[in-house]
Amino acid sequence: MLSLVSRSFCLMVSGCQGSRRSIATVISGNKTSKLVRDRLRNDVEKMKVQFSGFRPSLVVLQVGDRDDSNLYISTKLKAAAEIGIDAKHVRLPSSATQAEVLQSVLSVNENPSVHGLIVQLPLDSVNRIDTELVTNAVSPDKDVDGLSCINAGKLSRGDLKDCFIPCTPNGCMELIRQTGVSVAGKHAVVIGRSKIVGAPMHDLLLWNHATVTTCHSKTPDLPEQVSRADILVVGAGRAEMVRGEWVKQGAVVIDCGINHVPDETRASGKRVVGDVHYASANQRAGFITPVPGGVGPMTVAMLMENTVQSAHRFILRHQADR
């Protein structure tokens, strides 16, 4: 944390001596996620010693065989293995019915040796499946994605110690903490209102005592709203929509976007960009996350944190029942 603040101060001083325009300090999700994973690895080791080989356990439930889902799942399984979490991948065929998916969820719910359950979305089935019904079927005590209505409701009313927080917003909060900037009393603007990012991000910032404005596709004066933000979190799903000139001088900018745009200089013919125009925004922001290498690595790290936290809660309940 101190290194980020110190570097920002140095860059601001050098900017004042020259053109008086500072360059934002980059908030590295790669570095921060490593700190989180290292801490979790130590926590898991202590559990194994204290409770005779006990390990947190995670199940990833997939329907179908989408390539993008397979990639995301392999990243999660690799992170779990590095930390010491016992992770299992359960794949149902694309012919699976809603009843079969729900039965798989209930089976994991009832297994006391499993502490976390992720339902990989989208559900790639030839049959119609109600995604909300499936995600809400996950036991709130094992809902480490934080997507069930029970956990969402607890978050919305400020019960942060008694719920699982969705991983991307939770990762964003960790990145903000790394800057040393206090959220309390700041004006925060969130662009996007999805159930996975925007809505829970609003709640997290609010219950950490920021004054929060949520913007969306119907917001008429988006540049004006952005210009007021001490903390800006963008999860709109539109490539480079937020321009640098909109950004308040010195703001903390967290970019949750992952978009592919054409780029003839790349072998693939495309490159990944965020929802913020990075080249112009980093000329005004105080801190900014890159894309890639910013929010993305934190999402997986916070999923692992929720799983370890769930295992801790299981141990406490087990001890209380004795």
- The set of catalytic residues is 76
Neighbours of 186 (CB within 10 A): 19
Q: Which residues of 69-99 are buried (b: 16+ CB within 10 A; e: fewer)?
A: beebbeebbebbeebbbbbebebbeeebebe
**Sign of the CA dihedral with 295 first, then 278, 219, and 207 last:** positive
Q: Is the dihedral of CA 105, 66, 78, 178 positive or negative?
A: negative
Q: What is the DSSP code (8-state) at residue 244?
A: G
Length in residues, the chain: 322
Q: Which two tokens stand for residue 74?
A: 């392999």
Smallest CA-to-CA distance from 219 within 187, 195, 191 is with: 191
Q: Residue 313: helix, strand or coil by DSSP?
A: helix
Handedness of CA 301, 304, 308, 314 (dihedral sign): positive
Task: Round to whole Å and give the CA distance between 67 and 10.
Answer: 44
